Amino acid sequence: MEKKNSIWRNQNFVPYFLANALSNLGNWFDFVAVLILFRYTWQADPMLIALIPIMYAIPSILLGQFAGVFADRKDKRKLLIYSDWIRGGLTLLIVLTTSPWFALPVLLLRNAVGVVSFPAQQGLMRSIVVEEDIMKAVTINGSLYQLMKVVGPLIGGSVTGFFSPEVSIVVNAASFILSGLILLKVEVKHQAFQENEVQEGKEASSFLTSWKEGWRIVLKSQVLFASMMFGIVSTLTIQMIDTQIVTLFSEVFPNKPEITGWAISGIGMGSLIVVLYLNRLDEILRYGWFFGMGSALIGVMVLGFGFLDHFNLVTVALGLSIIGGVGNGITFTAINYLIQKEPPQEAIGRVSGIVDSTLSVLFIAGPLLGGILISQFGVLLAFKGIGISLAVIGLLGIVLQNYIWGKRHTFSKSQLEREAYPEIEKGGEQV
């Protein structure tokens, strides 16, 4: 029991956790409020509303990898503080806008400023959490994220309905500002970054070299590369059916529109339950079980949804949602643990930026591909096909995990330096 609770005695982890909680809660408050503001206050048409998630995804796609390099080269705590405060100011600016055409650029700018947060958070956590507590930290943060996915929209929607969308948006602005203030309490003695770094025999790594270095780490590590591929498959599948669940349920349960919200909450609840359970583990030894099982369970959910026309039971739909949520939570935990554990500490920002930007592409590609498949084959058949494919991929990941993941490739700082600066090894001078 003492070992399990040791992370809460870490004086730096507690403010880090509280700041993360405020940011997540504010984000979900904000997203619901922005949707309501666009539709109910400004009477925006569906195509304009469809641009909102794109404003969230585009910055990560275009800037995610470079934000990772930037986070590795700078003080991560300061980056998070300034990012929170700037986003807080831009969030207040949304309240002052009078048209969706003014609000969209502000959303884009705000999310561009926030791109650095994910790699900076990942790098900062590795700097303040000891090696044996990494799994605990990952699952605690994962539990927080999944809890906010369930609670945030419910509270945000209620506050918005009782007061106004502007009130919820102001709450998010306040949460960003308070999050930055709390992060001031975090003290990092041995943070790995390369700001103003001058080493004997060479100059500091260029931005482009650092970016290539991050990709080299991902591509040379079979564990990182195979895991990212599985994460891509799972995320793409979820995004293909995420926005189309309402289409499926409108066909299967035409007189029960509330089922859509229940199913989405069920997915979040399943994710929360399994992440809380995984907090018991000290480490992940076999990634194949996590990524394979996660993919297989999500596949079971999607496949089961495709047969709802035969069962037409609300309890079956909710049960399948929880099963899929468990798979999503397993995959989510594995990806975040992977980012913390596999790359060297000084490259966590770059690796997390690569993962974040790659997965963000799927937030645009997934819904488009899902819409095409459903238009061609119908919603039920499309769900069956997607579900079978993902379940089979997950089972193959479990059975063939020794071949797919292979042995871990451990990178040391000296190895990174040799690969980034081959001329040092040759005894020559950098040109």
Contact status, residue 333 vs residue 207, Cβ threshold 8 Å: no
| For residue 176, pLDDT beyond 80 | yes
| DSSP, res 407 | S
**pLDDT confidence tier of residue 190, bands split at 50, 70 and 90:** low
| For residue 400, pLDDT beyond 50 | yes
Find the distance separating the first CA and the last CA of the chain, reported in whole Å. 56
Least confidently predicted of 38-47, 93-102, 128-137, 288-297: 38-47
Average pLDDT over residues 268-284: 83
Q: How many CB atoms lie within 10 A of CB 252?
A: 21
Q: List alpha helices for 342-378, DSSP H.
A: 348-377
**pLDDT confidence tier of residue 421, bands split at 50, 70 and 90:** very low
d(CA 94, CA 376): 39
DSSP string, 175-200: HHHHHHHHHTT---SS----TT--BT
Task: Tell me what pLDDT residue 196 has.
Answer: 43
What six digits make up the tokens of 147? 């809890």
Tell me how many degrees the CA angle 134-135-138 measures, rounded to the nearest 5: 85
Task: Tell me what pLDDT residue 80 has.
Answer: 93
Contact status, residue 252 vs residue 311, Cβ threshold 8 Å: no
Average pLDDT over residues 35-64: 81
For residues 337 and 77, which has the higher predicted lDDT (pLDDT)? 77
Average pLDDT over residues 201-206: 48
Task: Tell me what pLDDT residue 204 has.
Answer: 47
Contact status, residue 389 vs residue 233, Cβ threshold 8 Å: no
Q: Of 122, 189, 130, 145, whose CA–CA distance to 7 is shortest?
A: 130
Average pLDDT over residues 192-210: 52
| For residue 83, pLDDT beyond 90 | yes
Average pLDDT over residues 177-183: 94
d(CA 317, CA 323): 10
Contact status, residue 271 vs residue 146, Cβ threshold 8 Å: yes
Max intra-chain CA distance, the chain: 75
Residue 105 burial by CB count (10 A; 0-12/13-18/19+): exposed, middle or buried?
exposed
| For residue 155, pLDDT beyond 50 | yes
The pTM is what?
0.71
